[in-house]
Amino acid sequence: DGLSKSDMEKLTFYAVSAPEKLDRIGAYLAEKLSRDVVRHRYGNVVIAMEALDQLLMACHSQSIKPFVESFLHMVAKLLESREPDLQVLGTNS
């Protein structure tokens, strides 16, 4: 159920093409990441955070503000985790 590199490229292209959808993309990724943290699917968590990092770097518009809220929620989720690897992932993002 994780995002492949190809999926991330498509998602980034879509977000840049339709920045008004960033809030929905962010909400979806936040929900998915939360589920994956609880289910210990850490590979998926890493991929989701890579996607978020790429989206933040690629998208430069006013529509990024709602997305940032989801991003910060996900970083907080990682920092609150008891898994050191997830804490490092959140810190690096």
pLDDT of residue 22: 83
* Residue 59 CB partners (closer than 8 Å, separation 6+): 15, 16, 19, 22, 67
pLDDT of residue 18: 83
Count of domains for the chain: 1
CB atoms within 10 A of CB 70: 21
For 14-62, the pLDDT digits (tens) are 887 887 888 888 888 888 888 999 999 988 888 888 888 888 887 766 6
Domain that holds residue 79: 5-92
Confidence (pTM): 0.73
